[in-house]
Homo-oligomer: A and B are copies of this chain.
C-alpha cells in the first residue's frame, strides 16, 4: 500500500479529514496537568484520548518539542506512543539539507521516531528531498504555498508564466513516482489551492492555517479535496487543543468539515 493509498484508506475508514496539531506550550497547559510527571505528555494524552476517534492524523511540530532540549525529544517519543493504530503521525519539521544530512533527518524521523509522514522544505532541490522519498510507505509533504504572510516574498514570485510555488508543485509531481509525495498548502489561499488540486488530483495535501490563522474552512474543503472527497488533511492546532471543551470543539470542526465535504456541488 502506498502512502497515498494509506491516507485514503484511513480517511475513508474514519470518515475524517481532521488532523490535530499537537504543539503544546508549557504555559498554556491547564494547571491540573502541570503537576503531573511530564505536563507535555499528559496534555497530549488528554487531547488524544478525547479526539482519537475523529481524526485521520496528528501533526507534531518539532519546534515545540526540540525547544525543550533532550527532555522535549523524550516527550515527543512518549507522545507518539500514545497515538492508537490507524491514525497517521506527521513530523512537521520542514527539514531540508544536502544528501548525507537529509539522510540523517529521514532516518531520525522515519526510523527513529517512526513518523508516517514529514514536512520537507524544497528550496535546496531534488537531491535534498530524495532521502525522504526512499521510504515507499512513508509520506513527504513538500512545502508549496504556506499560510503565512511571507509566502508572497518568494513562493509567489513569477518564474516565466508560473509562480515559484507552481514550479515546486510541478517538481513534486515528478518526485512522486511511488505515491509517497504530498504538498503543504495554506488554507489562507483557497483560489491557489483549487489550481494546485487541479494539477495534482491524487496527491495528499496537508492544509494548515484554518482556525488561529483565519483560513476559510468551507472554501478549503470545496477546493482542496480529491474527486473522492479525500486526500486533504486539514490541520487545526491551537483552536482545538486549548479549547475549553476539547472534544466538543474537535467534533464541531470534524462535523463541519464533513458537512461541506458531503454537500452537493
List residues of A whose CB falls within 8 A of some B CB. 23, 61, 63-64, 66-67, 69-71, 73-74, 77, 94-99, 101-102, 104-105, 107-108, 112, 121-129, 143, 146-155, 157-160, 164, 167-168, 171
Contact = CB atoms under 8 A, between A and B. Distances in A.
B112 A124 contact: no
A149 B127 contact: yes
B129 A150 contact: yes
Contact of A70 (B70, B122, B128, B164): B70
A210 to B, nearest CB: 14
Nearest to A107: B67
Contacts of A61: 97, 101
A97 B124 CA distance: 16
A112 to B, nearest CB: 6
Contacts of A98: 146-148
A39 to B, nearest CB: 16
17 contacts: A63-B102, A67-B104, A69-B112, A70-B70, A94-B96, A94-B121, A94-B124, A121-B121, A123-B143, A124-B143, A124-B146, A124-B148, A125-B146, A125-B153, A125-B154, A125-B155, A128-B148
Q: This chain: how many copies in the complex? A: 2
A123 B67 contact: no
Nearest to A159: B157
Contacts of A146: 98, 123-125, 128
Given A63-B105, A64-B104, A112-B69, A126 B97 contact: no
Given A70-B74, A164-B159, A63 B104 contact: yes
Contacts of A124: 94, 121, 143, 146, 148, 150-151, 155
A94 B73 CA distance: 19
Given A63-B101, A97-B61, A167 B148 contact: no
Contact of A63 (B63, B97, B157): B97
Contacts of A148: 98-99, 124-125, 127-128
A126 B104 contact: no
Nearest to A130: B150
Given A125-B154, A157-B159, A164-B157, A105 B69 contact: no
Contacts of A123: 121-123, 143, 146, 154-155
Contact of A67 (B99, B105, B121, B171): B105
